[in-house]
Amino acid sequence: MWAAKLLLIPLVFYLTVLAAIYFGQAALLFPTRAAGGALPLSNATRLQIETPDGDRLHGVIVPPEASGARLLVIGFGGNAWNAEAAADYLTTVYPHAHVAAFHYRGYAPSTGKPSAAALLADSLLVHDRLVQRLKPDRVVAVGFSIGSGVAARLASRRPLHGLILVTPFDSLSRVAENHYPWLPVRLLFRHEMPAAEDLRSARTPTAIIAAEHDTIIQPRRTEALRKAVPNLVYDRTVSGAGHNDLYDRPEFRQAMAEALETMK
């Protein structure tokens, strides 16, 4: 009897871990407090979009250096990014474009609760409102890390001139599977972003920029996405870079500029 009780201890512990992951995965995937609130961008125009269920998305548009520019770059940041920080960064890379970014659902000052379904659906709302307002000749979406899944959904649902994916993945659940092979991830996962499936039938010119030593998005997940993209026009892996230090490297900024050039 005592032996049976002892055997139950690891089972109960394992089931407790499963329950914690099932109910707590949204907080793990979308760390809203880590992103911080809005940053002061003095030259930005602030926008609000109301979602069909009554939440409000807050975002910014940063104008180009020169008037008359007809390119719109929409940025979708990583899971701990502040949208205005993403817009500020993209402005330094693409100074001749209108640059826009929105705080994800549940990321202050946007309201609501974050989820994969919400972020994917909101990408369409953001695109449509920006196109209606700016009437650009060209629209390019840029997705960073988890934002690559959001940008991929947009490319599968709306006509884009180009798509730039940074440290992207084929499937968010498969990323989780690779990190936690001892868990039944497919049974537990509630926030799928099927980037490869979304892009398989999309003809959008697509660029992929990866980090050689990425331990967050494993190289095999990026490779699986490469194989699914039907119109891959630019592919660059930055040597020696990791998932987070990629952005500090001059080779990355060069790759971002080259990626956009392929989409002219």
- Residue ranges covered by each domain of the chain: 2-261
Strands 98-102 and 138-144: unpaired
Question: Which residue spans within 27-159 are E strands per DSSP?
Answer: 45-50, 56-62, 71-76, 98-102, 138-144
What was the pLDDT predicted at 23? Answer: 65
Topology of domain 2-261, CATH: Rossmann fold (3.40.50)
Q: Residue 47 and residue 61: Cα distance in Å, rounded?
A: 8
Strand pairing class (71-76; 138-144):
parallel
Output the pLDDT for position 168: 98
Closest CA to 237 of 228, 107, 226: 226
At residue 26, the pLDDT reads 80
89 vs 6: CA distance, rounded Å: 55
Model's pTM, two decimal places?
A: 0.91
Q: Which of 110, 61, 103, 52 is nearest to 82 (CA)?
A: 103
Residue-level pLDDT at 24: 65
Instruction: List, in sequence order, every beta strand (DSSP E) within the chain.
Output: 45-50, 56-62, 71-76, 98-102, 138-144, 162-166, 206-211, 232-238
Over the chain (264 residues), what is each successive 10-residue block's mean pLDDT? 57 58 75 78 91 96 86 96 93 96 96 97 98 97 98 98 98 90 78 97 96 96 98 98 96 97 90
Long-range CB pairs of 118-125, under 8 A, 24+ apart, other chains included = 118/51, 119/150, 119/193, 120/149, 120/150, 120/153, 120/193, 121/51, 122/49, 122/51, 122/57, 123/76, 123/150, 123/151, 123/153, 123/154, 124/153, 124/154, 124/157, 124/158, 125/49, 125/51, 125/57
